[in-house]
């Protein structure tokens, strides 16, 4: 397989994509190039041999692993089949496996990173700082260092959805005279019917990334989608999809059907109450595109359970799953409870 390298034409250093300037930059001599210009004029490809091997996990199925030979230093890089962009651990050369992003695997679009690793570290630090009941392991420096910038594969679905909805609406009028209180309730049959178009509904195409975590990072600003260019991958990890568009489509259509029902229901107004009778949605057409979205990922294990934190590499939105430490709870709340009990005893003894 061919490895795409990102060597600086001035000094030979490993070039990286700079989220702040949106250019590819050499950290050694500060040479900077526009992404399009670099790929057109300084495209460096080396023939890196890929050797397929396999490893058997203790509980999981067999995982196919590949060994890539760095064209700069000859070092061996071990990676999973879906990992297409990486860093040589010996010479820090940024490389991408060209075959992972060509032909049927070539993305249509990419959203370049706008946030840096320093932004992600600051977000993680601020996120856990206020969580007093976290285990201490989540505050350790080595976990902060493990934050990785990853381009996650996403399928973007376009669809036209038809909808038919029937509802019962009510309007209530009340009044009184000298002898009685009156209530008049009128019932209305309400019908909504039509179509709605949806564009670029995202579903992540990676088995390794939990769907609910990726959806929590939304929204991504689709207006910043750029035509795919491998130079954007320099300095970041990148996965090719290992969940196909056909496998991802049901999840996208479920999201679309929920949205279309909500949108049509929102057009029913002016009633005291509205009760859905039937709601039916059907897909008239659908198509998809393939894109890479920027995310910062930190995965850590505590007491046998894996916890993943992620940050939207475009907007900076940060999400994560946090455990509860009973030891920390006792540390913080027992003294507070003791002081409160002492105050209550003092008030009761002296003033009651």
Report pLDDT digits (tens) over 13-31.
888 899 999 999 888 888 8
Residue 204: Cβ-neighbour burial (10 angstroms; 0-12, 13-18, 19+): buried
Q: Round to whole Å and give the CA distance between 7 and 9.
A: 6
Could you tell me which residues are beta bridge partners of residue 109? 227, 291
219: left (phi > 0), else alpha (psi -120 to 50), else beta? beta
> 239-255 burial string, b = 16+ CB within 10 Å, else e?
bbbebebeebbebbbeb
Cis peptide leading into residue 219 (ω within 30°) = yes
Q: Is the pLDDT of residue 272 over 90?
A: yes
Q: What is the pLDDT of residue 190?
A: 97
Sheet arrangement for strand 16-18: 16-18, 23-25, 32-33
Quick: pLDDT tens for 79-92.
777 888 877 766 67
| Residue 16 or residue 132, greater confidence | 16
Distances (CA, A) of 55 to 65, 78, 203, 284, 318: 7, 11, 29, 44, 33
Quick: pLDDT tens for 305-336.
777 889 999 999 999 876 654 454 445 444 55
Please, are residues 94 and 16 in contact by the beta-carbon 8 Å criterion?
yes
Q: Is the pLDDT of residue 53 over 60?
A: no
Q: What is the pTM of this model?
A: 0.79
Which H or E run contains 348? helix 326-351
Q: What is the pLDDT of residue 339?
A: 53
- Residue 339 DSSP SS3: helix
- 47-65: average pLDDT: 48
Residue 9 DSSP one-character state: T
| Residue 172 or residue 66, greater confidence | 172
Please, are residues 57 and 42 in contact by the beta-carbon 8 Å criterion?
no
- 94-113: average pLDDT: 87
Could you tell me which residues are beta bridge partners of residue 262? none
- Write phi, then psi, for 183 (nearest 5 degrees): -135, 125
With cut-offs at 50, 70 and 90, classify the pLDDT of residue 56.
Answer: very low
Please, are residues 117 and 147 in contact by the beta-carbon 8 Å criterion?
yes
Q: Round to whole Å and give the CA distance between 197 and 286.
A: 10
Q: Tokens 């008049």 correspond to what residue?
A: 184
Q: Which long-range contacts (CB under 8 A, 24 or more apart) does 11-18 make?
A: 14/87, 14/91, 14/92, 14/93, 14/94, 14/234, 14/235, 15/94, 15/234, 15/235, 16/94, 16/234, 16/235, 17/112, 17/113, 17/231, 17/232, 17/233, 17/234, 17/235, 17/236
Average pLDDT taken over every residue of the chain: 82
Lowest mean pLDDT, pick from 111-115, 127-131, 184-188, 266-270: 127-131
Please, are residues 107 and 101 in contact by the beta-carbon 8 Å criterion?
yes
Q: What is the pLDDT of residue 210?
A: 86
Residue 132 DSSP one-character state: T
- Write phi, then psi, for 141 (nearest 5 degrees): -65, -35
Quick: pLDDT tens for 288-304.
999 999 999 987 777 77
Q: What is the pLDDT of residue 321?
A: 73
- 124-146: average pLDDT: 73
- One-character DSSP codes across 185-229: EEEEEEEEEEEEEEEEEEEE--SSS-HHHHHHTPPP-GGG-EE--
Percent of the chain predicted with pLDDT > 70? 77
Quick: pLDDT tens for 193-222.
999 999 999 999 998 888 889 999 999 999
- 46-73: average pLDDT: 55
- One-character DSSP codes across 16-33: EEETTTTEEE-TTT--EE
> Which has the closest alpha carbon to 309: 137, 87, 112?
137
Which H or E run contains 257? helix 245-265
């Amino acid at each position: 397989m061919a490895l795409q390298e990102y060597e600086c034409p001035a000094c030979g250093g490993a070039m990286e994509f700079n989220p702040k300037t949106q250019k590819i930059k050499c950290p050694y001599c500060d040479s900077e190039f526009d992404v399009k210009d670099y790929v057109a004029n300084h495209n460096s490809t080396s023939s890196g041999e890929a050797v397929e091997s396999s490893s058997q996990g203790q509980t999981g199925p067999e995982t196919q692993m590949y060994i890539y030979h760095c064209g700069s230093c000859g070092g061996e890089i071990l990676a999973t089949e879906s990992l297409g962009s990486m860093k040589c651990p010996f010479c820090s050369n940024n490389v991408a496996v060209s075959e992972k992003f060509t032909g049927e695997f070539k993305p249509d679009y990419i959203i370049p990173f706008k946030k840096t690793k320093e932004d992600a570290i600051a977000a993680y630090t601020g996120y856990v700082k206020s969580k007093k009941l976290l285990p201490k392991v989540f505050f350790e420096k080595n976990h902060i260092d493990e934050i990785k910038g990853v381009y996650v594969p996403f399928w973007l679905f376009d669809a036209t959805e038809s909808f038919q909805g029937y509802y019962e609406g009510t309007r209530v009028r009340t009044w009184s005279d000298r002898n009685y209180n009156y209530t008049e309730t009128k019932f209305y049959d309400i019908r909504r019917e039509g179509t709605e178009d949806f564009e670029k509904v995202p579903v992540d195409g990676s088995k390794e990334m939990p769907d609910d975590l990726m959806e929590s990072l939304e929204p991504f600003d689709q207006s910043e989608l750029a035509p795919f260019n491998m130079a954007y991958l320099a300095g970041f990890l990148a996965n090719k999809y290992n969940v196909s568009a056909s496998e991802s489509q049901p999840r996208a259509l479920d999201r679309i059907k929920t949205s279309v029902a909500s949108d049509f229901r929102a057009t029913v107004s002016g009633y005291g109450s509205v009760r859905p009778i039937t709601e039916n949605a059907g897909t008239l057409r659908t198509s998809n595109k393939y894109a890479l979205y920027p995310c910062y990922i930190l995965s850590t294990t505590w007491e046998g359970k894996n916890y993943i934190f992620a940050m939207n590499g475009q907007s900076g939105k940060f999400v994560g799953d946090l455990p509860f430490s009973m030891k920390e709870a006792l540390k913080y709340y027992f003294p507070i409870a003791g002081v409160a009990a002492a105050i209550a005893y003092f008030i009761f003894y002296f003033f009651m």
